[in-house]
Copies of this chain bind each other. A is one copy, B any other.
Amino acid sequence: MRGMSIGELAGASGVRTDTVRYYERIGLLAMAARTEAGYRSYGSEDLARLRFIRRAKSLGFSLEDIRRLLDLQGNDASTAGDVLALTRQRIEVLQNQIADLAAIEAALANLARDCPPDAPASDCPILAHLAGLHRFKMGVPRSPIMSRKD
């Protein structure tokens, strides 16, 4: 596949032409070779690089991380340990994100569990929680009628 146009490259790699140009602009792809007419011209190694980017993106790596990974790939002095370090960092971030989201989800699920759908919003424990009224955990206050002397 010598001399693909940007459209062919984009089609073959599953990104848009604008995105290819964007990647070139930010230095993620090298400046493309040009035809006489000034059209960008790509070879199979460009396609491989774009596919690499797409796969890395699907694993949640940022373009900045991907740039580093590509540097490691192209640098004879780098080791698998270097790649592993980036990967471990990414895993750690993921674990933290998952933990944060799971904590939020648990909190919401907890609130949702005790929410009586047919009650007026003013009795909604979710709104109560958001309003900062976690004092009354829940349930009917025992004999509110009796608690005159509070």
Q: Is A146 an interface residue (CB 8 A)?
A: no
A118 adjacent to B80 (CB under 8 Å): yes
Q: Which stretch from A24-32, A35-43, A50-58 is at the chain B interface?
A: A50-58
Q: Please tell me how many copies of the chain the complex holds.
A: 2
Question: For the complex, what is the distance from the CA of A147 to the CA of B83, rounded to whole Å?
Answer: 30
Contacts A91-B108, A97-B101 given; does A83 touch B131 at CB 8 Å: no
How many A residues face the partner with a CB closer than 8 A?
53
Which B residues touch A79, using CB under 8 A?
Answer: 117-121, 124
Q: A-side interface residues toward B, CB under 8 Å?
A: 48, 51-52, 55-56, 59-60, 69, 72-73, 75-76, 78-84, 87-88, 90-91, 94-95, 97-98, 101-102, 104-105, 107-109, 111-112, 115-127, 129-132
7 nearest A-B residue pairs (beta carbon) = A81-B117, A80-B124, A78-B121, A94-B105, A80-B119, A83-B124, A84-B115
